[in-house]
């Protein structure tokens, strides 16, 4: 899939490019609005990541152009201007999602995945993990014929996030940013992820040992899927 990254901070652009290339996206970058406007008018993209705070261009104008010349592309707004009005305006103009800086690259990937699922209606949103069948669309976990209903919303969010980033160690910070990201409080070192994982293991163990949920000592957690 083709991604256009419009971001004037070269350091951030480079990291976005490395990360997305690793996830098998084909990336193009530009650091100002004028060249972005040209690229948008001439090439076709699947994703356009737009920084609203461009030095030479009104980011929202770029969004309008993108909707005009690249109507198929999904636009994600990246900005440090986390004002609510921008948020509303951005979504009104047809942005598919909105990420406030600073954001986790994994969060960006999960948002892009969600857009792909939505746009292309991918069928394979059911994942088999050991003896468990996890339906990401309907948000259910079942063991054989039994539907497991003890898993809470937060716990399912964690499992789904780890499945999306399968075979990759996720740190506690990354996990807590995903499930508590919108809450502003003054705790920065939340170890509650451990408590959640403990609960998930306990609940699933009642059916079968969830060996696929691995603790990476000192680093975090990961879900291993071999295929």
Partner 1 sequence: MKLGTKLTLFNTISKLVIVILFVLLLPTLIRDINQHYTDNWLRKQKEKVLKIVKGPGIKNYIQNGESYGSYNALLKEEYVSLDVESGAGNIDTILNEKRLVEGDTIEYRILSHTFKVDKQKYLLEIGKSIDTINETTTPLQNIALEVLLGMVLLTILADQVYATYVLRPLGLIIKTKLIGHKFPHHTPYKKVRTTTSDFEYLDISIHKMIETIENTFQKEREFISNASHELMTPISILQSKIENMFEREDIIDEVKVRLLEMQKILNRLKSITKTLLLISQIENEQFLKEDKISVDLLIHEVYDEISIRLQDKNINCEINIPHDWFLVKVNKFLLFNLFFNLINNAIKYNKEGGEIKITGVLQNKLLAVEITDSGIGISSEQLPHIFNRFKKFSQSLQQDSFGLGLPIVKSIADFHRIKIEVKSEPGSGSTFKIIFPDGVIRA
Contact footprint for partner 1 (CB under 8 A) = 9, 11-12, 15-16, 18-19, 22, 80-85, 100-106, 152-154, 168-169, 171, 173-174, 177, 180, 182-190, 192, 195-196, 199, 218-220
Q: Hunting for tokens 């609960």 — which residue is that?
A: 199
**Closer residue to partner 1 in complex, CB, 123/217:** 217
Question: Could you give the dihedral angle defined by the CA atoms of residues 37, 38, 43 and 49, in that order, rounded to the nearest 10 degrees?
Answer: -30
**Closer residue to partner 1 in complex, CB, 70/178:** 178
**Closer residue to partner 1 in complex, CB, 43/152:** 152
| Tokens (6 digits) for 134 | 């996890």
Q: How far is the CB of 49 from partner 1 (least distance, A)?
A: 12
**Closer residue to partner 1 in complex, CB, 70/86:** 86
How far apart CA 182 and CA 27 sit, in angstroms, is 29
Q: How far is the CB of 101 from partner 1 (least distance, A)?
A: 4
Cβ–Cβ < 8 Å for 16, 49: yes
Q: How far is the CB of 103 from partner 1 (least distance, A)?
A: 7
How far apart CA 122 and CA 116 sit, in angstroms, is 8
Q: How far is the CB of 153 from partner 1 (least distance, A)?
A: 7
**Closer residue to partner 1 in complex, CB, 120/188:** 188
Q: How far is the CB of 217 from partner 1 (least distance, A)?
A: 8
| Tokens (6 digits) for 4 | 């256009």
Q: How far is the CB of 141 from partner 1 (least distance, A)?
A: 18
**Closer residue to partner 1 in complex, CB, 140/190:** 190
Cβ–Cβ < 8 Å for 32, 57: yes
Which residues fall within 8 angstroms of residue 79, CB to CB, at 6 or more apart?
Answer: 51, 52, 53, 59, 86, 98, 99, 100, 101
Cβ–Cβ < 8 Å for 112, 167: no
């Amino acid at each position: 899939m083709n991604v256009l990254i419009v971001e004037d901070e070269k350091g951030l652009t480079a990291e976005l490019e490395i990360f997305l290339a690793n996830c098998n996206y084909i990336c193009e970058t530009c650091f100002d609005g004028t060249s972005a406007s040209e690229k948008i008018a001439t090439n076709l993209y699947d994703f356009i990541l737009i920084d609203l705070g461009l030095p030479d261009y009104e980011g929202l104008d770029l969004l309008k152009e993108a909707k005009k010349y690249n109507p198929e592309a999904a636009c994600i707004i990246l900005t440090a201007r986390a004002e609510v009005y921008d948020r509303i305006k951005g979504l009104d103009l047809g942005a598919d999602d909105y990420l406030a800086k600073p954001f986790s690259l994994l969060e960006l990937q999960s948002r892009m995945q969600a857009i792909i699922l939505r746009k292309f209606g991918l069928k394979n949103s059911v994942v088999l993990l050991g003896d468990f069948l996890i339906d990401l669309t309907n948000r259910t976990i079942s063991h054989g014929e039994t539907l497991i209903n003890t898993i809470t919303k937060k716990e399912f969010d964690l499992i789904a996030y780890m499945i999306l980033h399968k075979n990759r160690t996720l740190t506690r910070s990354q996990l807590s940013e995903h499930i508590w990201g919108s809450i502003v409080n003054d705790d920065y070192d939340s170890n509650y992820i451990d408590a959640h994982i403990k609960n998930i293991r306990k609940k699933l163990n009642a059916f079968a040992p969830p060996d696929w949920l691995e603790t990476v000592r000192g680093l975090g957690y990961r879900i291993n899927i071999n295929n």
